[in-house]
Amino acid sequence: MQRIGVFVCWCGSNIAATVDVEAVSQALAKEPGVVHSANYQYMCSQAGQDLIRAAIKEHKLTGIVVCSCSPRMHEMTFRKTAESAGINPYMVEIANIREQCSWIHKDILTGTEKAIVLGRTAIAKVNLNAPLTAGESPVTKRALVIGGGIAGIQTALDIADAGFEVDIVEKNPTIGGKMAQLDKTFPTLDCAACILTPKMVDVAQHEKIRIFSYSEVAAVKGFVGNFDVTIKKKARYVREDVCTGCGLCTEKCPVKKVPNEFNLGMDTRRAIYIPFAQAVPKVATIDADYCNMLKNGKCGVCSKVCTAKAIDYEQKDTLIEEKYGAIVVATGFNPISMEKFDEYAYSQSKDVVTSLEFERIMNAAGPTQGKLVRPSDGKHPHTLVFVQCVGSRCANCAEKGKEYCSKICCMYTAKHAMLTRDKYPDTDVYVFYIDVRTPGKNFDEFYRRAAEEYGVHYVKGMVGKVMPEGDKLMVRASDLIANKQINIAADMVILAAAIEPDKSARSIATMLTASMDTNDFFTEAHPKLRPVESPTAGIFLSGACQGPKDIPETVAQAGAAAAKVIGLLAKDKLKGNPCVASSNELMCNGCSSCERVCPYGAISYVDKEFRGPNRTVLVRRVAQVNPAVCQGCGACTVACPSGAMDLKGFATKQIMAEVDAICK
């Protein structure tokens, strides 16, 4: 029989105003197993906790029920309190009489009655609680970073600098990500390449960092501290260890008309290519979709010109198995497709471009060597119209676009408008906006400078339609301040396309069993207090895969994720969650139902010997749960017909007792 202590918290007046705490503690004192019942103003305070500790000692308590706020708030606190007084932390149950009672009921009679039932239910459960001890598992002191953009780069550097090995898996032939494609960065206007490429070199040269470029994560098994990851290294048909990156092959390759993805298809590259001059690793890659040698065996020019003998047409995809203790997701973002927004005539005119395309046009290493010209005819544009919020802030019912604000567009549009006016004072630049959102250090000042010093026309209103007519783009829009509809004959229209998580994120989330929101952004463990961790232990989030972010925020989050990873890898052993499933081998039929519903692969089977009647020995197939892998969802407990599978901390009998207590 348990000796239970009940502690009713007033939570100041939060509880006490609508629940008669004295009546509750008196009523609960009569429940079976209860030997002590008290109430106090703030149970979670030091004094409150001392009260509990003293009662444990004085009444030799074996179980604790705290009637207070949600267990999501202070369950941990009270468990620690109990532990410090010498009883098992899992002998504590919380009756949530604040969120579920005092805060939602106005009438003290109702509140008190319900609080008693909730307390009784917790007591019924504690009566059946058993001490639980968390298992321990070792930590592999290495980290994997998925994605080699600025987020991944920063996270990897920070982890590696702390002395842990890091591998970066990047699906493209080079690291660098979106930032490598940018021209200048707001609000300081320093060149993106100038600040990014030194970091890329740091990564390449860091003795603790390995880069798996042109590679993907193929499978993930295991759990926090002990992940087994399969990395697929795609065949690039060039031996990375031999290629010097001289680039001769990329000049001699006869296949010239391959759309250059680095410049968003605005110019072409060869079938063998190095994405850009500062690529890391600076190694050529053959595009199998275009290479004549790989397609029909006729060519071989690159192999002939390569003095390092790095070309290998026979190369195959290879699978690499690695072990990690932590995984950081840094899969980044992409602009959304403009397909559904053809009121802006993106598919009808080359002179309607997205902001990222504009970024390449403005970039000295871009398709126009940084000269602002129209993609259609190479002429210098005089009138430019920027449209904000294309596909951002769209209601669900509008059936296209994203509901969220993409966050970065206001600032990069201000940057584009400012740079255009700065370099080409003969231009007229219009920015159509719904709101200009500039909550960042020096952001609003930057935007105001664009308007005030550079003469960018900011118009409050949206563009309704863009119609190519002759060599002009007729832009029809509203000016809400003037209450006018305005028509502009523009030379170029630049669309601030909403951003969305990279398409690879969904499958990676599935492999990692990390949760995502409806927009495919990774969900954080807590939106405020644990923003760089996934709810799945051992998975961390860095950069725009968690939500739209600009570069400073991304770098900050990347560092934060690294700090969390370092904190994990610094430990030698991890304490697990003791509320895991366990199988009663005497009752297990070995039917495999539980194994089939387990999302973590935590259940395996062994043939075990049992003593039969008359000294015989029977061998039976029985389930065994790996407590380090089990996350304690309980799916197996219901799949099990014999009831052999039960969940510690949420045992069938405990829940039944709770049901009975409520229905009493």
Query: Which 528-557 residues touch another protein, going by CB under 8 A?
Result: 535
State yes or no: residue 503 binds another protein (CB under 8 A): no
Closest distance of CB 93 from another protein, Å: 10
- Structure tokens of 108? 């003290």
Closest distance of CB 187 from another protein, Å: 25
State yes or no: residue 77 binds another protein (CB under 8 A): no
Q: Which amino acid is at 607?
A: D
- Structure tokens of 112? 């008190």
Number of Cβ within 10 Å of residue 455's Cβ equals: 14
Stretch touching another protein by CB under 8 A, among 170-178, 273-281, 284-292, 476-484: 476-484
Cα separation, 496 vs 259, whole angstroms: 23
Stretch touching another protein by CB under 8 A, among 76-84, 155-163, 544-552, 582-590: 582-590
Q: Could you tell me which residues come within 8 angstroms of residue 616 by beta carbon, excluding any fewer than 6 positions away?
A: none
Q: Is 35 helix (H, G, I), strand (E, B) or coil?
A: strand
Quick one: 321 or 517, whose CB is closer to another protein? Answer: 517
Quick one: 251 or 660, whose CB is closer to another protein? Answer: 660
Q: Smallest Cα–Cα separation from 200: which of 249, 156, 145, 263?
A: 156
Closest distance of CB 383 from another protein, Å: 17
Q: Smallest Cα–Cα separation from 381: which of 321, 327, 424, 442?
A: 424
Cα separation, 288 vs 272, whole angstroms: 9
Q: Which amino acid is at 297?
A: G
Quick one: 58 or 377, whose CB is closer to another protein? Answer: 377
Q: Smallest Cα–Cα separation from 50: which of 7, 98, 96, 16?
A: 7
Closest distance of CB 347 from another protein, Å: 6
Closest distance of CB 410 from another protein, Å: 14
Closest distance of CB 99 from another protein, Å: 3
Q: Is 635 helix (H, G, I), strand (E, B) or coil?
A: helix
Cα separation, 184 vs 417, whole angstroms: 12
* SS3 track for 76-94: HHHHHHHHHCCCCHHHEEE
| Binding residue (CB under 8 A) for another protein from 467, 489, 537, 563 | 467
Quick one: 151 or 498, whose CB is closer to another protein? Answer: 498
Closest distance of CB 363 from another protein, Å: 29
Quick one: 305 or 635, whose CB is closer to another protein? Answer: 635
Closest distance of CB 200 from another protein, Å: 35
| Binding residue (CB under 8 A) for another protein from 556, 587, 601, 604 | 587
State yes or no: residue 477 binds another protein (CB under 8 A): yes
Q: State phi, psi for 640 to the nearest 5 degrees.
A: -75, 115
Closest distance of CB 281 from another protein, Å: 35
State yes or no: residue 584 binds another protein (CB under 8 A): yes
Residues 229-268 that bind another protein (CB under 8 A): none
State yes or no: residue 462 binds another protein (CB under 8 A): yes
The helix (H) or strand (E) run that includes residue 552 is helix 551-569
Q: Within 225-279, where are the H helices?
A: 248-252
Q: How far is CA 606 from CA 407, 628, 634, in A?
A: 54, 18, 21
Cα separation, 153 vs 384, whole angstroms: 35
- Structure tokens of 386? 């920027």
Evaluate whether 639 touches 594 at the Cβ level (below 8 Å): yes
Residues 1-40 that bind another protein (CB under 8 A): none
State yes or no: residue 76 binds another protein (CB under 8 A): no
Residues 101-120 that bind another protein (CB under 8 A): 101, 103-106, 110-111, 113-114, 117-118
| Binding residue (CB under 8 A) for another protein from 460, 537, 550, 553 | 460
State yes or no: residue 642 binds another protein (CB under 8 A): yes
Stretch touching another protein by CB under 8 A, among 258-266, 419-427, 541-549, 643-651: 643-651
State yes or no: residue 360 binds another protein (CB under 8 A): no
| Binding residue (CB under 8 A) for another protein from 219, 319, 480, 606 | 480
Helix, strand and coil percent figures for the chain, each rounded to 5: 30, 25, 40
The strand pair at 581-583 and 645-647 is best described as antiparallel
Evaluate whether 186 touches 414 at the Cβ level (below 8 Å): yes
Quick one: 17 or 162, whose CB is closer to another protein? Answer: 17
Q: Write each residue from 593 to 622 as x if it is in contact with another protein (CB under 8 A), else as -, in one continuous string.
A: x--xx-xx----x------x---x-x-xx-
Q: Is the peptide bond before 259 cis (omega within 30 degrees of 0)?
A: no
Phi-psi region of 575 (alpha: psi -120 to 50; beta: other; left: phi over 0): beta
Q: Any idea what DSSP says for residue 19?
A: S
Stretch touching another protein by CB under 8 A, among 222-230, 325-333, 557-565, 583-591: 583-591
**Maximum distance among all alpha carbons in the chain?**
102
Quick one: 285 or 593, whose CB is closer to another protein? Answer: 593
Q: Write each residue from 363 to 402 as x if it is in contact with another protein (CB under 8 A), else as -, in one continuous string.
A: --------------------------x---xxxxxxx-x-
Residues 264-303 that bind another protein (CB under 8 A): none
Closest distance of CB 98 from another protein, Å: 7
State yes or no: residue 434 binds another protein (CB under 8 A): yes
Cα separation, 454 vs 445, whole angstroms: 13
Quick one: 268 or 513, whose CB is closer to another protein? Answer: 513
Q: Could you tell me which residues come within 8 angstroms of residue 528 by beta carbon, excluding any fewer than 6 positions away?
A: none
State yes or no: residue 513 binds another protein (CB under 8 A): yes
Closest distance of CB 204 from another protein, Å: 36
Cα separation, 101 vs 19, whole angstroms: 8
State yes or no: residue 582 binds another protein (CB under 8 A): no
The separation between the first and the last C-alpha atoms of the chain, rounded to the nearest angstrom, is 21
Q: Could you tell me which residues come within 8 angstroms of residue 529 by beta carbon, excluding any fewer than 6 positions away?
A: none
* Chain centroid, CA 381 distance in Å: 40
Residues 316-345 that bind another protein (CB under 8 A): 339-343, 345
Residues 400-419 that bind another protein (CB under 8 A): 401
Q: Which residue has the tokens 């040269």?
A: 205
Quick one: 563 or 635, whose CB is closer to another protein? Answer: 635
Evaluate whether 565 touches 328 at the Cβ level (below 8 Å): yes
State yes or no: residue 64 binds another protein (CB under 8 A): no
Closest distance of CB 433 from another protein, Å: 9
Size of the site for another protein (CB under 8 A): 109
| Binding residue (CB under 8 A) for another protein from 469, 519, 556, 606 | 469
Stretch touching another protein by CB under 8 A, among 141-149, 305-313, 328-336, 653-661: 653-661
349 burial type by CB count under 10 A (0-12 exposed, 13-18 middle, 19+ buried): buried
State yes or no: residue 571 binds another protein (CB under 8 A): no
